[in-house]
Every structure is written in C-alpha cells, then in structure tokens.
Amino acid sequence: MLTDSHGRRHNYLRISLTERCNLRCHYCMPAEGVELTPNSGLLSQEEIIRIASTFVAGGVDKIRLTGGEPSIRSDIEEICEQLRSLPGLQNLAMTSNGIILSRKLFRLQAAGLNQLNISLDTLVPAKFELLTRRKGHNKVLQSIDTALGLGFSPVKVNTVVMRGLNDDEILDFVEITRDRDINVRFIEFMPFDGNVWNPKKLVSYVEMMDTIKNKFPSIYRLKDHPTDTAKNFRVEGYLGTVSFITSMTQHFCSGCNRLRLMADGNLKVCLFGPSEVSLRDAVRSGMQESELQQVISDAVKRKKAAHAGMFELARTQNRPMIHIGG
C-alpha cells in the first residue's frame, strides 16, 4: 500500500493537528494571515486515529505531529496516547515552536512522545520578534532546556536560514552544540504561497558549510541513513551535532519515505507537489478499510520521482506552510 512506483517504501507519516499557530513566522504564514478551514472541515480526534491506524497497519512506524502549532490543540495528550497504542508504531515525534511546550512536555512524554523538534530561527530576542511577529523567545529557550532535562536525545532545533535576517548567526548556532545534546538543523529557505520567497534570500548548504569550516575546521560528516532528509555533521569534541536540510540545492527525493496528512484530512505525498486527496471525505463517506487502503495506495503510486527544480518550485502554486504542516 505504501510503496510507490519508484520503489520507495513510505514508513513515516506527518500529521498536522491544526492550522492555527501562536506565531506568525514570515516563511510560514503570509503577512495578511490565511483563511482557516472551518472546524467542521478539520479532522476530529477519532478521524485522526482511524486514518493513522490504517497507515500504521500498512507499514508506517514513525508519526510526527505538526501544525500550525500542535501543542495548542487541547486534546494533544489524548491523541499521543492513542497513537502510541497502535501496534507497530515505534516512534512518535512532534515539531513545535516551543511557546507553550514546556508546561505540556512532561505529560506529552508520559503519553508516548519520544522525539522532538523545536523551531528557533534566531538567538537574538529582538530579532525573534521581527521574524515571528510575536514575543516569546525566552519561552522557546525554556522549552529546549525542559526537553533536555526530560532526556529527549537529541533535542532537534530547526533553523530556517535567510540571507540578511539570520545568516550572521550560523556560527552561534553551531556553538550551542558544544556541551548540549542538541542537533541544530539548518534548513534552506523554501518557497510556499505567501512567504515572498526570493532566491537572493536563499543561503545554500555549500555556503553555510564554507562559513562553518572557516571557524570549525574539525567538523566532520556522520553516517546518514538512506532516508535521512539531513546531511549530518559534528564538530570534533562537541556533544551535539549539526545538520543541513538541502531541499532547494541538493534534493533528497530518491530516499523519500514521508507522507503528509494535513489538518483538513488531505493527503499530500510530496511537500512541493500540488496534488492532494481527501481522506477526510473518504472516512466520512463510510468507506470500508480496504477501500481506504486503496485510496491511499493509488495516491502513493502517483508520487513523482522527484520534485521540480528550485526556480520551477517558486512558480508552482502550493499552499502556505501553515496549511501543509511543518
């Protein structure tokens, strides 16, 4: 069911729990905001578990909860508990902006959350407000500390690098991996509807590595898994690690094992692909399990070998990231 026509087996499902967020990051949400799906059009807790169970039965062993901001959903702990009870699921992860995460993280871990990414694009509080259009820098740092204290290993920190905004902080981010179990993940700036993408804002992986090697010549490559989205490194003697998500300049489509279920129930087989299929409508129509499996299988089979090139992506209509799920 989850193997596409190019032989890629998909065992990783990302589930967006909400389109709402308590930040307004430039690369994720247009300045004028977005039109949110009415609550009646969003997946209920029961529907999320029903659809997730179909994927897990088909071979998915890792689920990541995204948004919007997943931690603002009031039933997040119950969703985690039910997902973790699915036979065959090995890892339950979440990507969060960290604003309210610290006060929920103990309960989330108890409910089965065992992997965590926290988004942080700057180490400068004033710049944080510029990038996110909100306050809360100290709360994100607190969430990182809380996660480390609870034993999440590593705590992954997602950093979207944008020229003229935070590219001057690359070395500072590398330095926070010196004595803490943090994996800083530098992400190339990607185009989505409304985020005013411009190639001049893109800081490539090669450019970032050149900057880092000048200051940290002892940085060395780690062994990557064939399905990793990241190129992974460690500075010699440092506890943490540094990774690069090179979606724009060096795509990793050949090893892609990821599918996305959006908050409105649409399945997206490629982050940059415009095609979607509604699993919400399939479930609400009373579709039997075998029929739902066939809908999913057909969508996966249509997945292309690779996404379009960088400049073609910028011209392709796609949803804002807040709709797709981080």
Phi, psi of 128 (to 5 degrees): -60, -45
Position 31 scores a pLDDT of 65
* Other C-beta atoms lying within 10 Å of the C-beta of residue 198: 12
User: What is the set of domains in the chain, with CATH numbers?
Assistant: 12-324 (3.20.20.70)
Report the alpha-carbon distance of residue 91 to residue 133 in Å, rounded: 33
Q: One-letter amino acid identity for 271?
A: L
Query: Average of pLDDT values for 124-152?
Result: 95
Quote the percentage of the chain above a pLDDT of 90: 75
Strand partners, 188: 161
Q: How far apart are the first and last CA of the chain?
A: 25
Position 108 scores a pLDDT of 98
Strand partners, 244: 186, 231
3-state secondary structure of 59: coil
pLDDT exceeds cutoff 90 at 184: yes
pTM to 2 decimals?
0.93
Position 66 scores a pLDDT of 96
Under a CB-based contact definition with an 8 Å cutoff, are residues 152 and 115 in contact? Answer: yes
pLDDT in tens, 240-261: 999 999 988 887 788 899 999 9
- Give the residue carrying structure tokens 């809380």: 146
Beta strands of the chain (E only): which ranges? 12-16, 62-66, 91-96, 115-119, 155-161, 182-188, 219-221, 230-235, 241-245, 258-261, 266-268, 277-278
| Token code pair at residue 178 | 């010196």
Query: Average of pLDDT values for 92-100?
Result: 97
Residue 279 vs residues 61, 124, 276, 285: alpha-carbon distances, Å = 19, 41, 9, 10
Report the alpha-carbon distance of residue 241 to residue 235 in Å, rounded: 7
Residue 125's contacts (CB-CB under 8 Å, 6 or more residues apart) are 137, 138
Q: How confident is the model at residue 195 (pLDDT cuts 50, 70, 90)?
A: very low
Interior angle at CA 255, CA 249 and CA 258, nearest 5: 95
Position 194 scores a pLDDT of 46
- Helices and strands (H, E) in the chain, number of each type: 11, 12
Residue 313's contacts (CB-CB under 8 Å, 6 or more residues apart) are 190, 191, 248, 272, 307
Strand partners, 96: 118
Residue 230 vs residues 86, 209, 225, 301: alpha-carbon distances, Å = 28, 13, 9, 25
Interior angle at CA 70, CA 66 and CA 71, nearest 5: 145
pLDDT in tens, 262-317: 999 999 998 877 789 999 999 999 999 999 999 999 999 999 988 655 555 445 55
Position 199 scores a pLDDT of 75
Q: One-letter amino acid identity for 12?
A: Y
Q: How confident is the model at residue 323 (pLDDT cuts 50, 70, 90)?
A: low
Residue 295 vs residues 45, 62, 274, 279: alpha-carbon distances, Å = 21, 21, 17, 8
